[in-house]
Structure 1
Amino acid sequence: MSGARSQVLELRQYTLHDDARDVLIDLFEREFVESQEATGTEVIGQFRDVDAADRFVWLRGFPDMRSREAALRAFYGGPVWAAHRDAARVTMVDTDDVLLLRPVDEDSGFPAPSGPRPPVGRAEPPSSLVVATLYRRDRPFDKEFAEFFRRRVRPVLTETGAAPLAYLQTEHAENTYPALPVRTGENFFVWFARFAGRDDLAGHLGRLERSPAWRDDVLPKLSAVLTGEPQRLTLAPTARSLLR
Protein backbone atom coordinates (compact mmCIF):
# COMPACT_ATOMS: atom_id res chain seq x y z
CA MET A 1 0.00 0.00 0.00
CA SER A 2 2.42 2.66 -1.16
CA GLY A 3 1.90 6.14 -2.51
CA ALA A 4 4.18 5.19 -5.40
CA ARG A 5 1.67 2.58 -6.55
CA SER A 6 -1.74 4.12 -5.85
CA GLN A 7 -1.84 7.35 -7.78
CA VAL A 8 -5.64 7.22 -8.07
CA LEU A 9 -7.78 6.45 -5.03
CA GLU A 10 -11.45 6.19 -4.21
CA LEU A 11 -12.89 7.19 -0.83
CA ARG A 12 -16.22 5.36 -0.85
CA GLN A 13 -18.96 6.06 1.71
CA TYR A 14 -21.96 3.72 1.61
CA THR A 15 -25.29 4.24 3.35
CA LEU A 16 -26.78 0.90 4.31
CA HIS A 17 -30.07 -0.42 5.55
CA ASP A 18 -30.55 -0.69 9.31
CA ASP A 19 -28.56 -3.54 10.86
CA ALA A 20 -26.99 -4.41 7.50
CA ARG A 21 -23.46 -3.12 8.06
CA ASP A 22 -22.00 -6.21 9.68
CA VAL A 23 -23.66 -8.36 7.02
CA LEU A 24 -21.92 -6.41 4.26
CA ILE A 25 -18.59 -6.35 6.09
CA ASP A 26 -18.65 -10.13 6.57
CA LEU A 27 -19.39 -10.61 2.88
CA PHE A 28 -16.85 -8.01 1.77
CA GLU A 29 -14.02 -9.43 3.83
CA ARG A 30 -14.73 -12.98 2.78
CA GLU A 31 -15.32 -12.45 -0.95
CA PHE A 32 -14.31 -8.97 -2.16
CA VAL A 33 -10.77 -8.37 -0.91
CA GLU A 34 -8.52 -10.88 -2.66
CA SER A 35 -10.81 -10.97 -5.70
CA GLN A 36 -10.32 -7.23 -6.23
CA GLU A 37 -6.60 -7.38 -5.55
CA ALA A 38 -6.31 -10.06 -8.24
CA THR A 39 -7.37 -7.39 -10.79
CA GLY A 40 -4.62 -4.96 -9.70
CA THR A 41 -6.71 -3.01 -7.19
CA GLU A 42 -5.28 -2.08 -3.79
CA VAL A 43 -7.91 -2.62 -1.11
CA ILE A 44 -6.42 -0.12 1.32
CA GLY A 45 -8.91 -0.09 4.16
CA GLN A 46 -12.44 -0.93 5.30
CA PHE A 47 -14.17 0.86 8.18
CA ARG A 48 -17.23 1.32 10.29
CA ASP A 49 -18.13 5.00 10.61
CA VAL A 50 -18.12 5.52 14.38
CA ASP A 51 -20.69 8.32 14.20
CA ALA A 52 -23.18 6.65 11.85
CA ALA A 53 -24.34 3.07 12.37
CA ASP A 54 -25.57 2.82 8.78
CA ARG A 55 -22.28 3.88 7.15
CA PHE A 56 -19.58 1.67 5.67
CA VAL A 57 -16.48 3.47 4.39
CA TRP A 58 -13.64 2.01 2.36
CA LEU A 59 -10.61 2.99 0.32
CA ARG A 60 -9.16 1.43 -2.78
CA GLY A 61 -6.36 2.51 -5.09
CA PHE A 62 -4.99 2.06 -8.59
CA PRO A 63 -1.76 2.95 -10.38
CA ASP A 64 -3.54 5.32 -12.80
CA MET A 65 -6.90 5.99 -14.46
CA ARG A 66 -6.34 3.46 -17.25
CA SER A 67 -5.51 0.73 -14.73
CA ARG A 68 -8.57 1.73 -12.71
CA GLU A 69 -10.85 1.23 -15.70
CA ALA A 70 -9.33 -2.16 -16.49
CA ALA A 71 -9.47 -3.35 -12.89
CA LEU A 72 -13.08 -2.28 -12.38
CA ARG A 73 -14.19 -3.91 -15.63
CA ALA A 74 -12.42 -7.10 -14.64
CA PHE A 75 -13.90 -7.26 -11.15
CA TYR A 76 -17.48 -6.14 -11.85
CA GLY A 77 -17.56 -8.26 -15.00
CA GLY A 78 -16.08 -11.26 -13.22
CA PRO A 79 -17.46 -14.36 -11.49
CA VAL A 80 -17.04 -13.29 -7.85
CA TRP A 81 -19.13 -10.13 -8.19
CA ALA A 82 -21.70 -12.02 -10.29
CA ALA A 83 -22.04 -14.63 -7.57
CA HIS A 84 -22.37 -12.22 -4.65
CA ARG A 85 -23.66 -8.89 -6.03
CA ASP A 86 -27.28 -9.51 -5.09
CA ALA A 87 -26.34 -10.28 -1.49
CA ALA A 88 -24.24 -7.10 -1.38
CA ARG A 89 -26.79 -4.85 -3.05
CA VAL A 90 -29.60 -5.86 -0.71
CA THR A 91 -27.68 -4.26 2.18
CA MET A 92 -27.24 -0.91 0.38
CA VAL A 93 -29.29 2.28 0.24
CA ASP A 94 -26.76 4.53 -1.53
CA THR A 95 -23.27 3.89 -2.91
CA ASP A 96 -22.71 7.07 -4.94
CA ASP A 97 -20.86 9.12 -2.30
CA VAL A 98 -17.45 8.54 -3.85
CA LEU A 99 -14.49 10.91 -4.01
CA LEU A 100 -11.89 10.29 -6.69
CA LEU A 101 -8.56 11.42 -5.25
CA ARG A 102 -4.83 11.48 -5.94
CA PRO A 103 -1.79 12.12 -3.73
CA VAL A 104 -0.86 15.80 -3.56
CA ASP A 105 2.79 14.95 -4.30
CA GLU A 106 5.11 11.95 -4.47
CA ASP A 107 5.48 11.80 -0.69
CA SER A 108 1.84 12.18 0.35
CA GLY A 109 0.39 8.77 -0.55
CA PHE A 110 -0.32 6.06 1.99
CA PRO A 111 2.72 4.31 3.46
CA ALA A 112 3.30 0.61 3.07
CA PRO A 113 1.25 -1.50 5.51
CA SER A 114 2.90 -2.38 8.79
CA GLY A 115 2.14 -6.07 8.37
CA PRO A 116 0.22 -8.62 6.30
CA ARG A 117 -3.56 -8.56 6.03
CA PRO A 118 -5.23 -10.67 8.72
CA PRO A 119 -6.69 -13.89 7.31
CA VAL A 120 -10.35 -14.55 6.68
CA GLY A 121 -12.13 -15.48 9.88
CA ARG A 122 -10.26 -13.22 12.30
CA ALA A 123 -12.93 -12.24 14.81
CA GLU A 124 -11.72 -9.07 16.49
CA PRO A 125 -11.12 -5.71 14.78
CA PRO A 126 -8.31 -3.52 16.13
CA SER A 127 -8.99 -0.85 18.77
CA SER A 128 -7.33 1.85 16.66
CA LEU A 129 -9.14 4.59 14.77
CA VAL A 130 -8.42 6.24 11.44
CA VAL A 131 -9.65 9.80 11.02
CA ALA A 132 -10.20 11.35 7.60
CA THR A 133 -10.51 15.15 7.58
CA LEU A 134 -12.09 16.62 4.47
CA TYR A 135 -11.39 20.21 3.43
CA ARG A 136 -13.53 21.72 0.68
CA ARG A 137 -13.26 24.91 -1.35
CA ASP A 138 -14.92 26.56 -4.34
CA ARG A 139 -11.90 26.12 -6.62
CA PRO A 140 -9.22 23.45 -7.00
CA PHE A 141 -6.59 23.13 -4.31
CA ASP A 142 -3.35 24.45 -5.77
CA LYS A 143 0.37 24.22 -5.07
CA GLU A 144 0.15 27.21 -2.75
CA PHE A 145 -2.32 25.41 -0.48
CA ALA A 146 -0.26 22.21 -0.61
CA GLU A 147 2.81 24.14 0.52
CA PHE A 148 0.81 25.83 3.28
CA PHE A 149 -0.37 22.42 4.47
CA ARG A 150 3.16 20.98 4.45
CA ARG A 151 4.85 23.90 6.15
CA ARG A 152 2.20 25.26 8.52
CA VAL A 153 -0.63 22.79 9.06
CA ARG A 154 1.17 19.43 9.17
CA PRO A 155 3.72 20.46 11.84
CA VAL A 156 0.98 21.57 14.23
CA LEU A 157 -1.02 18.40 13.61
CA THR A 158 2.10 16.33 14.27
CA GLU A 159 2.95 18.23 17.46
CA THR A 160 -0.56 17.63 18.80
CA GLY A 161 -0.54 13.90 18.03
CA ALA A 162 -2.08 13.58 14.57
CA ALA A 163 0.80 13.15 12.16
CA PRO A 164 -0.85 12.82 8.71
CA LEU A 165 -0.48 9.35 7.18
CA ALA A 166 -1.46 10.64 3.76
CA TYR A 167 -2.99 13.72 2.17
CA LEU A 168 -4.86 13.66 -1.09
CA GLN A 169 -6.80 16.00 -3.35
CA THR A 170 -9.53 15.65 -5.94
CA GLU A 171 -8.61 13.88 -9.16
CA HIS A 172 -10.50 15.78 -11.87
CA ALA A 173 -9.92 13.25 -14.66
CA GLU A 174 -12.98 11.93 -16.47
CA ASN A 175 -14.57 8.93 -14.81
CA THR A 176 -13.76 6.22 -17.34
CA TYR A 177 -15.99 3.67 -15.59
CA PRO A 178 -19.35 5.52 -15.48
CA ALA A 179 -21.21 2.46 -14.21
CA LEU A 180 -19.81 3.54 -10.83
CA PRO A 181 -20.52 7.28 -10.36
CA VAL A 182 -18.16 9.61 -8.54
CA ARG A 183 -18.80 13.10 -7.20
CA THR A 184 -17.91 15.75 -9.77
CA GLY A 185 -17.68 19.53 -9.78
CA GLU A 186 -16.28 19.59 -6.23
CA ASN A 187 -12.83 20.24 -4.81
CA PHE A 188 -11.52 18.31 -1.79
CA PHE A 189 -8.29 18.01 0.13
CA VAL A 190 -8.36 14.99 2.46
CA TRP A 191 -5.82 14.04 5.11
CA PHE A 192 -5.72 10.89 7.21
CA ALA A 193 -4.31 10.17 10.67
CA ARG A 194 -4.18 7.09 12.89
CA PHE A 195 -4.98 7.00 16.62
CA ALA A 196 -4.54 4.23 19.16
CA GLY A 197 -8.13 4.69 20.31
CA ARG A 198 -10.77 7.17 21.44
CA ASP A 199 -8.65 8.57 24.27
CA ASP A 200 -5.76 9.20 21.89
CA LEU A 201 -8.06 11.04 19.48
CA ALA A 202 -9.64 13.08 22.29
CA GLY A 203 -6.18 14.02 23.55
CA HIS A 204 -5.16 15.27 20.12
CA LEU A 205 -8.33 17.35 19.73
CA GLY A 206 -7.82 18.91 23.15
CA ARG A 207 -4.19 19.78 22.47
CA LEU A 208 -5.12 21.19 19.08
CA GLU A 209 -7.79 23.42 20.57
CA ARG A 210 -5.30 24.75 23.13
CA SER A 211 -2.46 25.25 20.65
CA PRO A 212 -1.66 28.95 20.10
CA ALA A 213 -0.09 28.12 16.73
CA TRP A 214 -3.32 26.47 15.62
CA ARG A 215 -5.72 28.96 17.16
CA ASP A 216 -3.92 32.17 16.22
CA ASP A 217 -2.16 31.30 12.97
CA VAL A 218 -3.24 28.13 11.16
CA LEU A 219 -6.99 28.07 11.83
CA PRO A 220 -7.68 31.65 10.67
CA LYS A 221 -5.77 31.03 7.44
CA LEU A 222 -7.62 27.75 6.83
CA SER A 223 -10.97 29.38 7.50
CA ALA A 224 -10.18 32.10 4.98
CA VAL A 225 -9.72 29.66 2.09
CA LEU A 226 -12.07 26.76 2.87
CA THR A 227 -15.74 26.52 2.02
CA GLY A 228 -17.65 25.63 5.16
CA GLU A 229 -16.43 23.65 8.13
CA PRO A 230 -14.10 20.67 7.62
CA GLN A 231 -15.78 17.28 7.76
CA ARG A 232 -14.26 14.67 10.06
CA LEU A 233 -14.87 10.95 9.51
CA THR A 234 -13.98 8.87 12.55
CA LEU A 235 -13.43 5.36 11.25
CA ALA A 236 -13.01 2.06 13.07
CA PRO A 237 -11.00 -0.43 10.98
CA THR A 238 -12.60 -3.79 10.32
CA ALA A 239 -10.87 -7.03 11.20
CA ARG A 240 -9.15 -7.40 7.79
CA SER A 241 -8.42 -3.73 7.03
CA LEU A 242 -4.79 -3.13 6.10
CA LEU A 243 -5.07 0.49 7.16
CA ARG A 244 -5.56 0.19 10.92
Structure 2
Amino acid sequence: MSIVELRQYTLRPGARETLIELFEREFVTGQQAVGITVGGRFRDLDDPNRFVWLRAFPDMARRRRSLEAFYGGPVWQEHRDAANATMTDSDDVLLLRGPGFTPGPGAAEVLATVCHPPGATAFDVYAARHLGPGHALHRTEHAENDFPRLPVRTGEDVRVWFGPAQPPPWPTRILRLEPVTA
Protein backbone atom coordinates (compact mmCIF):
# COMPACT_ATOMS: atom_id res chain seq x y z
CA MET A 1 0.00 0.00 0.00
CA SER A 2 1.13 3.51 -0.82
CA ILE A 3 0.61 6.92 0.67
CA VAL A 4 -1.90 8.59 -1.66
CA GLU A 5 -3.09 12.16 -1.91
CA LEU A 6 -6.58 12.74 -3.31
CA ARG A 7 -6.40 16.39 -4.38
CA GLN A 8 -9.48 18.44 -5.32
CA TYR A 9 -8.79 21.90 -6.68
CA THR A 10 -11.38 24.64 -7.04
CA LEU A 11 -10.49 26.76 -10.05
CA ARG A 12 -11.34 30.18 -11.33
CA PRO A 13 -14.27 30.10 -13.78
CA GLY A 14 -13.09 28.94 -17.18
CA ALA A 15 -9.56 28.04 -16.02
CA ARG A 16 -9.82 24.25 -15.83
CA GLU A 17 -8.57 23.51 -19.34
CA THR A 18 -5.67 25.93 -18.87
CA LEU A 19 -4.58 24.08 -15.73
CA ILE A 20 -5.04 20.66 -17.32
CA GLU A 21 -2.91 21.61 -20.32
CA LEU A 22 -0.14 22.96 -18.05
CA PHE A 23 -0.43 19.98 -15.71
CA GLU A 24 -0.16 17.41 -18.48
CA ARG A 25 2.65 19.24 -20.27
CA GLU A 26 4.84 20.07 -17.24
CA PHE A 27 3.73 18.65 -13.92
CA VAL A 28 3.23 14.95 -14.66
CA THR A 29 6.80 14.33 -15.83
CA GLY A 30 8.17 16.92 -13.40
CA GLN A 31 6.72 15.00 -10.45
CA GLN A 32 7.64 11.60 -11.85
CA ALA A 33 11.25 12.78 -12.15
CA VAL A 34 11.45 13.18 -8.36
CA GLY A 35 9.82 9.84 -7.50
CA ILE A 36 6.13 10.78 -7.35
CA THR A 37 3.64 8.43 -9.00
CA VAL A 38 1.00 10.57 -10.67
CA GLY A 39 -2.29 8.68 -10.88
CA GLY A 40 -5.66 9.58 -12.32
CA ARG A 41 -6.40 13.14 -13.34
CA PHE A 42 -10.03 14.15 -13.77
CA ARG A 43 -12.55 16.81 -14.67
CA ASP A 44 -15.38 16.86 -12.12
CA LEU A 45 -18.50 16.32 -14.23
CA ASP A 46 -20.70 18.11 -11.69
CA ASP A 47 -18.46 21.16 -11.23
CA PRO A 48 -16.82 22.83 -14.25
CA ASN A 49 -14.43 24.62 -11.90
CA ARG A 50 -12.99 21.53 -10.22
CA PHE A 51 -9.93 19.45 -11.08
CA VAL A 52 -9.37 16.18 -9.16
CA TRP A 53 -6.19 14.12 -9.18
CA LEU A 54 -4.17 11.55 -7.26
CA ARG A 55 -0.50 11.07 -6.57
CA ALA A 56 1.27 8.36 -4.61
CA PHE A 57 4.44 7.78 -2.63
CA PRO A 58 5.95 4.58 -1.20
CA ASP A 59 5.91 5.98 2.36
CA MET A 60 5.72 9.24 4.33
CA ALA A 61 9.49 9.84 4.37
CA ARG A 62 9.71 9.58 0.59
CA ARG A 63 6.61 11.75 0.28
CA ARG A 64 8.36 14.54 2.15
CA ARG A 65 11.60 14.19 0.13
CA SER A 66 9.77 14.05 -3.19
CA LEU A 67 7.58 17.05 -2.38
CA GLU A 68 10.62 19.04 -1.24
CA ALA A 69 12.39 18.16 -4.49
CA PHE A 70 9.42 19.03 -6.71
CA TYR A 71 8.29 22.25 -5.01
CA GLY A 72 11.89 23.42 -4.61
CA GLY A 73 12.82 22.36 -8.14
CA PRO A 74 12.91 24.06 -11.51
CA VAL A 75 9.61 22.78 -12.96
CA TRP A 76 7.46 24.17 -10.15
CA GLN A 77 9.53 27.34 -9.88
CA GLU A 78 9.04 28.08 -13.58
CA HIS A 79 5.31 27.28 -13.77
CA ARG A 80 3.89 27.88 -10.28
CA ASP A 81 2.59 31.38 -10.97
CA ALA A 82 0.66 30.18 -14.03
CA ALA A 83 -0.75 27.20 -12.10
CA ASN A 84 -1.66 29.22 -9.01
CA ALA A 85 -3.40 31.83 -11.21
CA THR A 86 -5.98 29.18 -12.20
CA MET A 87 -6.88 28.20 -8.62
CA THR A 88 -8.99 29.63 -5.84
CA ASP A 89 -8.41 26.67 -3.48
CA SER A 90 -5.89 23.81 -3.54
CA ASP A 91 -6.22 22.72 0.11
CA ASP A 92 -8.97 20.09 -0.25
CA VAL A 93 -6.60 17.16 0.12
CA LEU A 94 -7.13 13.77 1.73
CA LEU A 95 -4.04 11.87 2.85
CA LEU A 96 -4.80 8.19 2.33
CA ARG A 97 -3.26 4.75 2.40
CA GLY A 98 -4.14 2.52 -0.53
CA PRO A 99 -3.20 1.23 -3.95
CA GLY A 100 -3.61 4.50 -5.87
CA PHE A 101 -5.80 4.64 -8.94
CA THR A 102 -5.48 5.29 -12.65
CA PRO A 103 -8.50 4.65 -14.86
CA GLY A 104 -8.27 2.07 -17.61
CA PRO A 105 -7.89 3.07 -21.25
CA GLY A 106 -11.08 4.38 -22.79
CA ALA A 107 -12.83 5.06 -19.47
CA ALA A 108 -15.37 7.82 -20.06
CA GLU A 109 -16.60 8.27 -16.49
CA VAL A 110 -15.28 7.16 -13.11
CA LEU A 111 -17.15 7.26 -9.83
CA ALA A 112 -15.15 8.07 -6.72
CA THR A 113 -16.89 7.59 -3.39
CA VAL A 114 -15.72 9.44 -0.29
CA CYS A 115 -17.39 7.86 2.74
CA HIS A 116 -17.33 8.76 6.45
CA PRO A 117 -18.21 5.44 8.15
CA PRO A 118 -19.02 5.29 11.86
CA GLY A 119 -16.30 2.72 12.54
CA ALA A 120 -14.00 0.18 10.99
CA THR A 121 -16.10 -2.88 11.82
CA ALA A 122 -19.29 -1.55 10.23
CA PHE A 123 -17.36 -0.45 7.17
CA ASP A 124 -15.59 -3.80 6.85
CA VAL A 125 -18.97 -5.55 6.75
CA TYR A 126 -20.17 -3.16 4.02
CA ALA A 127 -16.92 -3.55 2.04
CA ALA A 128 -17.04 -7.36 2.18
CA ARG A 129 -20.52 -7.28 0.61
CA HIS A 130 -20.14 -4.46 -1.93
CA LEU A 131 -16.50 -3.80 -2.82
CA GLY A 132 -13.99 -5.90 -4.70
CA PRO A 133 -10.30 -5.53 -5.53
CA GLY A 134 -11.13 -3.40 -8.58
CA HIS A 135 -12.57 -0.66 -6.36
CA ALA A 136 -9.07 0.41 -5.22
CA LEU A 137 -10.13 1.00 -1.61
CA HIS A 138 -8.21 3.69 0.34
CA ARG A 139 -8.33 4.57 4.05
CA THR A 140 -7.29 7.72 5.88
CA GLU A 141 -3.59 7.90 6.65
CA HIS A 142 -3.42 9.36 10.15
CA ALA A 143 0.31 10.16 10.11
CA GLU A 144 1.16 13.79 10.67
CA ASN A 145 1.56 15.82 7.49
CA ASP A 146 5.33 16.29 7.42
CA PHE A 147 5.15 18.74 4.48
CA PRO A 148 2.96 21.46 6.05
CA ARG A 149 3.53 23.80 3.10
CA LEU A 150 0.75 21.72 1.48
CA PRO A 151 -2.16 21.35 3.92
CA VAL A 152 -4.22 18.16 4.17
CA ARG A 153 -7.62 17.64 5.78
CA THR A 154 -7.30 16.27 9.30
CA GLY A 155 -9.64 15.10 12.02
CA GLU A 156 -11.74 12.85 9.83
CA ASP A 157 -11.72 9.18 9.04
CA VAL A 158 -12.71 8.37 5.46
CA ARG A 159 -12.78 5.52 3.00
CA VAL A 160 -12.41 6.27 -0.70
CA TRP A 161 -12.98 3.87 -3.58
CA PHE A 162 -13.42 4.00 -7.32
CA GLY A 163 -16.16 2.42 -9.39
CA PRO A 164 -19.85 1.74 -8.91
CA ALA A 165 -21.13 0.20 -5.71
CA GLN A 166 -24.28 0.26 -3.65
CA PRO A 167 -24.15 3.52 -1.66
CA PRO A 168 -23.27 2.98 2.00
CA PRO A 169 -25.66 4.10 4.76
CA TRP A 170 -23.24 6.78 6.08
CA PRO A 171 -22.38 10.33 5.01
CA THR A 172 -21.01 9.95 1.51
CA ARG A 173 -19.98 12.11 -1.41
CA ILE A 174 -19.89 10.56 -4.86
CA LEU A 175 -17.70 12.30 -7.42
CA ARG A 176 -18.53 11.79 -11.10
CA LEU A 177 -15.22 12.19 -12.88
CA GLU A 178 -14.06 12.29 -16.48
CA PRO A 179 -10.49 11.09 -16.97
CA VAL A 180 -8.05 13.52 -18.51
CA THR A 181 -6.22 11.91 -21.39
CA ALA A 182 -2.81 13.23 -22.36
TM-score (norm 2): 0.91
Query: Conserved in 1, the CA contact under 8 Å of 2:40 and 2:101?
Result: no
1:73 and 1:90 mapped to 2: Cα distance? 21
SS of the residue aligned with 1:94?
Answer: strand
Aligned to 2:131: 154
Shift of residue 98 of structure 1? Answer: 0.3
2:141 and 2:78 mapped to 1: Cα distance? 32
1:13 and 1:113 mapped to 2: Cα distance? 17
Aligned to 1:119: none
Shift of residue 164 of structure 1? Answer: 3.9
Aligned to 1:45: 40
Shift of residue 146 of structure 1? Answer: 5.1
Query: Conserved in 1, the CA contact under 8 Å of 2:55 and 2:100?
Result: no
Unaligned runs of 5+ in 1: 104-108, 116-125, 156-162, 194-203, 209-213
Q: How does 1:124-203 map to 2 (within 5 A)?
A: 126=106, 128-137=108-117, 141-142=119-120, 144-145=121-122, 147-154=124-131, 164-193=134-163
1:94 pairs with 2:81: no
CA deviation string 1:49-103 (max 9, x = no partner): 0000000000000000001000000000000100000000000000000000002
TM-score (norm 1): 0.69
Aligned to 1:60: 55
Paired residues, number: 182
1:49 and 1:82 mapped to 2: Cα distance? 27
2:160 and 2:39 mapped to 1: Cα distance? 15
RMSD of aligned C-alpha atoms?
A: 2.2
Shift of residue 178 of structure 1? Answer: 0.1
Query: Conserved in 1, the CA contact under 8 Å of 2:4 and 2:100?
Result: no
Q: Please identify the structure whose Cα radius of gyration is greater.
A: 1
Structure richer in strand, relative to its length: 2
Closer, same or farther: CA 112–59 of 1 in aligned 2, 3 Å: closer
1:31 pairs with 2:26: yes
1:235 pairs with 2:174: no
Query: Conserved in 2, the CA contact under 8 Å of 1:164 and 1:191?
Result: no
